Amino acid sequence: MQENTDKSSRLATINFRRAEFLQSASAIDNAPPDQGSEVAFAGRSNAGKSSAINTLTENKKLARTSKTPGRTQLINFFSLSDNQRLVDLPGYGFAKVPLAMKRRWNEHMERYLQTRQSLRGLVLLMDIRHPLTEQDQQMIHWSASAGMPVHILLTKADKLKRGPASATLHKVRAALSEFEDLISVQLFSALKRDGLSTLERQLKLWLTDDSVFEEEIESV
């Protein structure tokens, strides 16, 4: 009981509006120290990742990343507290990006998903009208093989009527049913702020992961 109370009070203390830019990294080697907990956001370019992060943090400028294809793509870290971070991964899916750059991106992502100790989960954004692209499936595959939980946002849900949106939700869930324990899927609209509380709840659960409590208890 005491434990539950402690956990709910910790969940309540995360305030996404307090997110601040921490640093950019061109690769995981120059990421901030691998301590505490972080949640990463990934998705095809134009999937609505910046809009989702901006809606979550109520900060229009936070996720204003360079969107020019071929530019150096950076991983951006935002701090929520001393030991909790949000991570904005470079968008993928630019047709015009040179092959060598795509390969490098793949290597970085695979390594980040598989080796980053503080990573608690991946939020994967997909435009509800084009879910599960090849690269999305690749991200899911890397995450699954690392045992990394994935929470999928079917973005721009306001673009579809309720019936078709819900049909897509069920279809995506069915397509991923083999990963039932690791993957959850929800509808999301940054424009209407639909699905925001579900997303916040998932992030809070990940960021206040029990292992963080254990680490803290051990260090007392």
Query: Would you state the structure tokens that stand for residue 115, as one six-digit string?
Result: 């080796």
Give the CA dihedral 47, 11, 118, 184, nearest 10 degrees: -40
What residues between 58 and 77 interact with ligand GDP by CB under 6 A?
A: 67
Output the CA torsion sign for 119, 120, 125, 130.
positive
SS3 state of residue 117: coil
Query: Rounded distance, CA 32 to CA 118, Å?
Result: 10
Strand partners for 183: 150
Query: In the complex, what is the shortest distance from the CB of residue 126 to ligand GDP, in angstroms, rounded to a whole number?
Result: 10
Q: Is 124 in the site for ligand GDP (CB under 6 A)?
A: no
Query: In the complex, what is the shortest distance from the CB of residue 139 to ligand GDP, in angstroms, rounded to a whole number?
Result: 14
Query: Would you state the structure tokens that stand for residue 195, as one six-digit string?
Result: 């699905």
| Among residues 23, 45, 81, 135, the one that binds ligand GDP under rule CB under 6 A | 45
Q: How many residues bind ligand GDP (CB under 6 A)?
A: 17
Strand partners for 187: 154
Q: Is 57 in the site for ligand GDP (CB under 6 A)?
A: no
Query: In the complex, what is the shortest distance from the CB of residue 71 to ligand GDP, in angstroms, rounded to a whole number?
Result: 13
Scanning 1-9, 79-87, 108-116, 150-158 for contacts with ligand GDP by CB under 6 A, the matching segment is: 150-158
Query: Rounded distance, CA 86 to CA 21, Å?
Result: 9
What residues between 190 and 219 interact with ligand GDP by CB under 6 A?
A: 190-191
| Among residues 37, 156, 204, 212, the one that binds ligand GDP under rule CB under 6 A | 156
Please, which residue, 157 or 212, has the CB nearer to ligand GDP? 157
Output the CA torsion sign for 71, 60, 158, 205.
positive
Query: In the complex, what is the shortest distance from the CB of residue 46 to ligand GDP, in angstroms, rounded to a whole number?
Result: 5
Contact positions vs ligand GDP (CB under 6 A): 43, 45-51, 67, 91, 155-156, 158-159, 189-191
